[in-house]
Amino acid sequence: MSLTKDTKIYIAGHRGMVGSAVWRALSAAGFTQLIGKSSKELDLRNQAAVTDFFTSEGPEVVINAAAKVGGILANNTFPYAFLMENLQIQNNLISAAHQSGVTKFIFLGSSCIYPKLAPQPLKEEYLLTAPLEATNEWYAIAKIAGVKACEAIRKEFGKDFVSLMPTNLYGPNDNFDLLSSHVLPAMIRKFHEAKNNAHATVALWGSGTPMREFLHVDDLAQAVLFALQNTLPEHLYNLGSGSDLTIKELALLIQKAVGHEGEIMWDDSKPDGTPRKLMDVSKMNALGWKAQISLQDGIRSTIEWFVQEER
């Protein structure tokens, strides 16, 4: 398939943090035929509806940024929904794309597909070599199935189906709900609200010792654009900044950027999750993509976006 600015590109999940960033990046690159459907317009869990959509709209390229996502609490509380809904969404998209003749499909997943205690940094070949982190294995198993489905289509039919696995993402349009958000946006909300409440003490989960890596969603979007404009030789690529820090260091960065001057209390009765997750991004870097946005700059701009939305 020869990609042009008029190629019809369907971005599933275009209103989410990832999908909206991909939409911005592709629009800025001059692509004019972008297709997006809200969950009310198209329920991706409904196989017949997805098949009908592909028949009527005829997308030539699909980027799957749609998923049911959440933090440790949400994954632990709703394991069936996280497993089943993600399987339904991606299976319907991959199957309909294959059947309708889509030749390029970009599947977006998560670093949680790798084993809990895999060597660091995480290499693509560590997939399925040991047990997963128990607190989000339901989501991880669904995403692994998606990776394997894309690999199978590549192997059996020679189609350009590729999987990109980003590390922890953050940025505009993130979920800042304390019951279902990930660690970085949750901290932004907690510190912001505590600052506005006479610099009250902020309680954070766990010991603060786990190591985490973060990637700004606009850097991820550039990786998707790169994968769109190039034929990648392998089926699976990690995406990350290439460096990590402790959760405690992250908290101090966010606290300073927000301007909160109160205490931080660590509740070590709460789970820490995986001790360390750092991606080996050498394969994607070698092809020509590299993260550009520093964590400090990314946190600052994300706080600005959040504060603006709160008004």
Residues annotated as catalytic (active site), given as ranges: 139
Expressed as residue numbers, the domain containing 50 is 9-174+214-242+278-293
Residue 219 lies in a domain: yes
Residue 84, judged by CB atoms within 10 A of its CB (0-12, 13-18, 19+), counts as middle
The mean pLDDT value of the chain amounts to 95
Whether 250 maps to a domain, the answer reads no
Is residue 68 one of the residues assigned to a domain?
A: yes
The vertex-219 CA angle with 217 and 220, nearest 5°, equals 65
Residue 123 has pLDDT above 80, yes or no: yes
Weakest mean pLDDT among 45-49, 136-140, 162-166, 190-194: 136-140
**What pLDDT score does 277 carry?**
86
Give 95-115 pLDDT, tens digit per residue: 999 999 999 999 999 999 999
Q: Rounded to the nearest 10 degrees, what angle do helices 247-258 and 295-310 cross at?
A: 50
* pLDDT one-digit tens code per residue, 256-274: 999 999 999 999 998 887 7
| Residue partners of 54: CB distance under 8 A and separation at least 6 | 96, 97, 99, 100, 102
Torsion of the alpha carbons at 51, 151, 112 and 94, rounded to the nearest 10: 0
- Split at pLDDT 50, 70, 90, the class of 1 is low
Q: Look at residue 71 and tell me whether its pLDDT is greater than 80.
A: no
Q: Is residue 164 part of a domain?
A: yes
Has residue 159 been placed in a domain?
yes
Phi, psi of 204 (to 5 degrees): -120, 145
Whether residue 191 lies inside any domain: the answer is no
310 by Cβ neighbours in 10 Å (0-12 / 13-18 / 19+) ranks as exposed
> What proportion of the chain, given as a percentage, has pLDDT over 90?
88
What band does 74 get if pLDDT is binned at 50, 70 and 90? confident
Asked if residue 57 is part of any domain, the answer here is: yes
Q: What is the pLDDT of residues 23-66, one digit of tens each?
A: 999 999 999 999 999 999 999 999 999 999 999 999 999 999 99
The average pLDDT across 280-308 equals 98
Check which CATH number belongs to the domain holding 117 and give it.
3.40.50.720
Assess whether pLDDT exceeds 80 at residue 91: yes
Tell whether 55 is covered by a domain. yes
| 303 pLDDT tier (thresholds 50, 70, 90) | very high
Domain tally for the chain? Answer: 1
